Amino acid sequence: MNVGLLVPATATTGDLAEIARQVEATGFDSIWIPEHPVIPFNYKTQVPGGGQLPEHYNRWHDPFVALTVAAAATKKIKLATGILLLPEREPLITAKQIASLDCYSGGRVVLGVGAGWLKEETEVMGTSFRVRWKRLRETVEAMRVCWTQPEPKYEGELVRFPAVHCEPKPVQKSGPPILLGAHGPKAAERIARFADGLCPLVDSPATLKSVYVDPARKLAREAGRNSDHWQISPFVDAEGGNLSEDKLKQYREAGATRVVLFSQPMATEIANGKGLEWIKRNAPVVERTQRV
């Protein structure tokens, strides 16, 4: 099992190239950059989990610019989005950005995607919140067409374009893996329908297995899809660097192929300049993960 680290990229995060180099040198397999294009003032949507949205969410950099910096500074680590808000993006430009990064990085891109929870953000970016999941699915389907077809075209209800030249093609066959960060009663159904894996925020190995992995695999089998090669990369609390080997084994047994270390306090500190400290603090978790 592998381990990744979520790094919010802001103007106060520090030297992102050096952070990425240390992520790689410490033994993490991946660096994950989150996305919120905008946070509207005076939004009314309740924050998942309650409380106030951390201030640094207002200041996140574009994930593909940040991942390009990380790509140029490293050789091996996967370059991941977590979470990329596809309903808020134009599909053709996004497909080109992703393919370009995959080319320049030698095929290291992983896409953690989601539909978003902040209604006001989704709608200010041009998509009705009510249809965000449909737009996400159609965007995924359209990007895969762009990455694999010589004359890509797509005709969905919300995403459509005629045959176009869409280059470059990604290094990875069929494009980078797309992992769905979905929650709620329809999460397993959505994962089974079109994803290459999953990356939910979970509170325990039992939740990962019972709510996400087992139901999604069952539905995938029923739909004739093979889930054997899914990447299962839950976001889990590193517990201040004390995440135990026993719990890591439980995550592996629940189906995880990777855990991505994330908590709100850790993310806030990384966003405000303490990334290198958190890499060092989580080095024991990397060592434990490599033993399970």
Q: What is the pLDDT of residue 49?
A: 87
The domains of the chain, with CATH numbers, are 2-289 (3.20.20.30)
| pLDDT tens-digit map of 79-88 | 999 999 999 9
d(C-alpha 218, C-alpha 241), whole Å: 34
pTM value surpassing 0.95 = yes
Q: What is the pLDDT of residue 246?
A: 98
Residue 281 has, within 13 A of its CA and on its CB side, a CA count of 17
Q: What is the pLDDT of residue 259?
A: 98
Residues of the chain short of pLDDT 70, as ranges, are none
Cis status of the peptide bond prior to 234, with omega within 30 of 0 = no
Contact 58, 39 (CB under 8 A): yes
d(C-alpha 41, C-alpha 38), whole Å: 9
Contact 27, 290 (CB under 8 A): yes
Q: What is the pLDDT of residue 130?
A: 98
Q: What is the pLDDT of residue 101?
A: 98
Q: What is the pLDDT of residue 62?
A: 98
